[in-house]
Structure 1
Amino acid sequence: MSQMCGIGPFVTIPLMVAAFGGPQAVIGWIAGAVLALVDGLVWAELGAALPGSGGSYRYLREAFQHRSGRLMPFLFVWTAMLFIPLIMSTGVVGFVQYLGYLLPGMTQGQSDLVGLALVVVVTLLLWRRVESVARITTVMWAVMIVSVAAVILACYTHFTPSRAFSWPAHAIQLTHGQFWIGFAAGLTIGIYDYLGYNTAAYLGAEVKDPGRVMPRAIVYSIVGIMGIYLLLQIGVLGVIDWHEMLDPGSTASQSVASAVLERTWGRGAADVVTVLILITAFASVFTGLLGGSRVPYDAARDGVFFRAYGRLHAKHRFPVLGLLTMGAVTAVGFYVGRHVSTSAAHPPLTVLIDLLTTVMVLVQALAQIVALTVLRRRRPELERPYRMWLYPAPSILAAVGWLVIYGYADRNSPGFHPIEWSLAWVAAGCGAFLLWAKFERTWPFGPKEFADGPDLSDQPDQPDQPELTL
């Protein structure tokens, strides 16, 4: 839950209202929770069956190694090195937006410098041995809870039901194409806000009884966060007229939580909560880059990515290249996102969210759903302490949800071509894999190596062979 709820809801409530065109935006939070739940069950089964470290690249390696060697785990790490820092870029954008409430005289150039400086400061803070991650996460969770609780309490002490529940005429027209465009945009924003429900799966090697703990961690966290988001969205709509959130120059659009506190408890309370939100945004970028820098490191150490990413700092023992790469992409994502979008209809956050989700869909979301079915067929003997409820219905529903997000991405960000960019990035990853595979002399330029032993699918009568470790 700490990973799921950072700066996200404080900056995406106006985006959700804009996507649906009114207070019916609550549909987006519910739809995002449903997609997170069914996709979370995919993570739950894979994580319980393969509870080691590595998460997605481990599942993809196990499922697809007999067909394509190490291609799929390599592509996952390749795409993760783009979508993880893009997620952090949205945190930097949120930080700058809320800082603008405290310093309304900031120019765009000054805001850009602040955002880039934030990335540099976080990178420098991580340029050392980090021994207190648990305390940092706990502090971030406590600050976030205080911020959310303050905003929710302020909303419902000055709540106007007619403002929150007066939906415009024809708010839901299932036969109208424009509704589904808005629904897809809201679903994209919603799943972005729920991202993090898979954190337990990445910690599988350190979770006791993963077959029992992992499904509960995923389901309970999603349901809990959905409750928080619905309280926030409905509460904000009961204080602020939703039309104000559509004005890109208004406080309600740029820093909606500050606007709520100012109207209910006064400017002083708004300033205090804004500072707490800034701390939350900073902490989310800090912990995100901390974890993100370890993804290419773990993959390189497991032999599925460039060796240079598997090297640690000689003194402080952190992955140098992973941290520098993630920090650089975060800075570029923030700066480009701020300047590539000048349209009020498509603010920087919307563009960044569309880009990062489309990059995620192909190699992580959809490929992992396929991996679940492949492993059920190829490795029926694999111990599965948790099996997906109502299989394969949740897998199919998750695939449909991700395809809706992907299929509508270009229409929700016209002129920015997120689908084409995602395909280009995956194609570049395939090229990078071929260069890496040639250097490493692995498939397709050498023999395949299997994490679960040689492929005996075509030779069922041969005796078992020793396990090969990557």
Structure 2
Amino acid sequence: MDTSAPSPHDADGYYEYHDHDDAAHLHALGYESEFRRDMSPWANFSLGFTYLSPVVGIYTLFAFALATGGPPMIWSLVIVGVGQLLVALVFSEVVAQYPVAGGVYPWARRLWGRRYAWMTGWVYLVALLTTIASVTYGAGFYIAPFLGIEATTMNVIWGALATIAIATIINFLGTKVLAWAAIFGFTAEIVGALAVGGWLLIAHREQSFGVLFDTFGTGGGGSYFPAFAAAALIGVYQYYGFEACGDVAEEVPDPGRLIPKAMRRTIYVGGAAATFVCLALILAVSDIPAVIAGDDVDPVSTLLSDAFGPTGSRVVLAVVLISFVSCAMSLQAAASRLAYSYGRDDMIMGSSLLRRFSQTRHVPPFALLVAAAIPAVIVLGSYFSANAVVKIISFAAVGIYIAFQMVVLAALRARLKGWVPSGKYTLGSWGLPVNVAALAYGVIAMVNLAWPRTPDVPWYDNWIVLLSVVIVVGVGVVYMALHPAADRSDAPYDDAIPRT
């Protein structure tokens, strides 16, 4: 299934890379890049890994997943990992042919058309901005204990704003600094995850492996499936980040060959690390029924305190905070490249600013400011209503999945209309079945994300995820009707399907 098409520069199939090939390929796609290709394959993979961030994802949702579905919730990481790998394979074919900054927006533009691409990018941009707010807001709850202060509303807000500021500074320093920061974040997170998980398994293991098949009655005496589906959100929230490898396509040498590899490695390594962290935490919890009953609402903090003591747990918290900063940094890089891509194609209000480029740092400064300012405003909103912020952030995961599946759908439509991927990575005859399977998985995942599970709350809270989708898409439709920039853009579009 993993095949790389030979370079047209060598009839014998041996591929020799020349840096001018990237500029020529991009020029053939209708663009002249201002970015510098300073991001190595290792850094590109690290960017995707830190965006996926197994530590952030598992630590944030572990208590919810264990209380909802018991230890078998860990199997959702395997199931979702396979599903998202299918999506990553489809993306790999697309980015190999269209290695353009911005990710899902330019891909949808070439596969389908301008208005479809506008909506794809709009949904993804809103999801990215709310995800940055979500990650940095979550960091605030770890910064407080690290500093030895109470996690009050204001302390959490200040911690979140500090996280946004650090991530923004790193991004403003340019691709090379971003690349080194991504590698550092990856190294710290993977070493920390292995060290903490290994120590918990060796010195603080309380459960046998058989517990992974014990639901502890979370099914409520009926079918276990609803409980597992709800707990599976830990997996659904975990596996995105691989697309960030393609968001910076104009900053990677030989992107058509290297980015597909980075995407797949992000799934392999990130998924394995997340599963290992989750396994270590489950087997180290001494009283699982207490977590399920709600008596221990923060089992991760309990475990870290018991296993490492005050000093050791603070060191672990430092690693966790590095993971949060790295994740925010990678998300911000993805959001800024998307906003810049919109501006370069003159697709949205403020395009003249979004496409501005710093010739000193080789980054889009105003696009980066958008990726910092809007999440900061959302975080500040929690001072007035934490519940309102939770509602805004609820769109984050489902929005990313919708944008993903819009690209998968566009790829399937184009394939059925005659598109044959022609980049350096192709699936060959596996392309169509993988595409169909990826779309089927994505639809199931989105239904699971939007499914109402809180019948005791007001209806608008019970349906908050679906309502947030309707609002974001509705605003996008109204915007396109009132300000039809998508129809004015003369950048290349809808050229994947062969014309007769």
TM range (shorter): 0.7 to 0.9
1:454–1:138 Cα change, 3 Å? closer
Structure 1 CA distance for aligned equivalents of residues 172 and 264 of structure 2: 35
The answer to which of 276-285 and 36-45 deviates more is 276-285
- Of 239, 256, 261, the residue aligned with 2:284 is 239
Q: Is the 8 A contact 1:297 1:319 kept in 2?
A: yes
In the TM superposition, what is the alpha-carbon distance from 1:222 to its structure 2 partner?
Answer: 1.5
Structure 1 CA distance for aligned equivalents of residues 170 and 251 of structure 2: 26
Equivalent AA in structure 2 for residue 242 of structure 1: I
Structure 2 CA distance for aligned equivalents of residues 182 and 38 of structure 1: 25
- Of 14, 24, 29, the residue aligned with 2:77 is 29
Residue 94 of structure 2: aligned partner: 46
Structure 2 CA distance for aligned equivalents of residues 152 and 455 of structure 1: 48
Residue 7 of structure 2: aligned partner: none
1:147–1:357 Cα change, 3 Å? same
Q: Is the 8 A contact 1:406 1:419 kept in 2?
A: no
In the TM superposition, what is the alpha-carbon distance from 1:33 to its structure 2 partner?
Answer: 0.6
Q: Is the 8 A contact 1:78 1:429 kept in 2?
A: yes
Equivalent AA in structure 2 for residue 285 of structure 1: A
- Of 42, 55, 61, the residue aligned with 2:109 is 61
- Of 277, 294, 308, the residue aligned with 2:337 is 294
Deviations 1:289-330 (A, max 9, x none): 233222111221133333232124687664343223222331
2:323 match: secondary structure: helix
Structure 2 CA distance for aligned equivalents of residues 400 and 175 of structure 1: 27
Structure 2 CA distance for aligned equivalents of residues 153 and 76 of structure 1: 41
The answer on 1:392 being equivalent to 2:440 is no
Structure 2 CA distance for aligned equivalents of residues 454 and 135 of structure 1: 35
Residue 195 of structure 1: aligned partner: 240
The answer on 1:422 being equivalent to 2:469 is yes
The answer to which of 415-424 and 389-398 deviates more is 389-398
2:132 match: secondary structure: helix
In the TM superposition, what is the alpha-carbon distance from 1:265 to its structure 2 partner?
Answer: 3.3
1:197 match: secondary structure: coil
Residue 452 of structure 2: aligned partner: 411
In the TM superposition, what is the alpha-carbon distance from 1:233 to its structure 2 partner?
Answer: 1.3
- Of 283, 295, 307, the residue aligned with 1:264 is 307
1:201–1:329 Cα change, 3 Å? same
Q: Is the 8 A contact 1:92 1:115 kept in 2?
A: yes
Q: Scaled by the length of structure 1, what TM-score is found?
A: 0.80
Structure 2 CA distance for aligned equivalents of residues 136 and 99 of structure 1: 20
Structure 2 CA distance for aligned equivalents of residues 294 and 319 of structure 1: 8
Residue 16 of structure 1: aligned partner: 65
1:355–1:242 Cα change, 3 Å? farther
Structure 1 CA distance for aligned equivalents of residues 218 and 266 of structure 2: 30
Matches within 5 A, 1:440-459: 440=485, 443=487, 450-451=492-493
1:380 match: secondary structure: coil
The answer to which of 34-43 and 426-435 deviates more is 426-435
In the TM superposition, what is the alpha-carbon distance from 1:353 to its structure 2 partner?
Answer: 6.4
In the TM superposition, what is the alpha-carbon distance from 1:120 to its structure 2 partner?
Answer: 4.3
CA RMSD across the alignment: 3.5
1:293 match: secondary structure: helix
Structure 2 CA distance for aligned equivalents of residues 37 and 302 of structure 1: 30
Equivalent AA in structure 2 for residue 417 of structure 1: I
Percent of pairs identical after alignment?
Answer: 18
The answer to which of 156-165 and 200-209 deviates more is 200-209
In the TM superposition, what is the alpha-carbon distance from 1:213 to its structure 2 partner?
Answer: 4.3
Equivalent AA in structure 1 for residue 121 of structure 2: V
Residue 408 of structure 2: aligned partner: 369
1:162–1:389 Cα change, 3 Å? farther
Structure 2 unaligned regions, length at least 5: 1-48, 455-460
Structure 2 CA distance for aligned equivalents of residues 174 and 393 of structure 1: 38
1:168–1:97 Cα change, 3 Å? same
1:45–1:186 Cα change, 3 Å? farther
Q: Is the 8 A contact 1:122 1:285 kept in 2?
A: yes
Deviations 1:421-450 (A, max 9, x none): 11221121122223332xx5x63xx69775
- Of 184, 189, 198, the residue aligned with 1:144 is 189
Structure 1 CA distance for aligned equivalents of residues 68 and 91 of structure 2: 28
The answer to which of 329-338 and 188-197 deviates more is 329-338
Structure 1 CA distance for aligned equivalents of residues 357 and 295 of structure 2: 45
In the TM superposition, what is the alpha-carbon distance from 1:53 to its structure 2 partner?
Answer: 3.0
Residue 75 of structure 1: aligned partner: 119
Deviations 1:84-125 (A, max 9, x none): 122222221331222243335332333233323443454456
Structure 2 CA distance for aligned equivalents of residues 410 and 108 of structure 1: 29
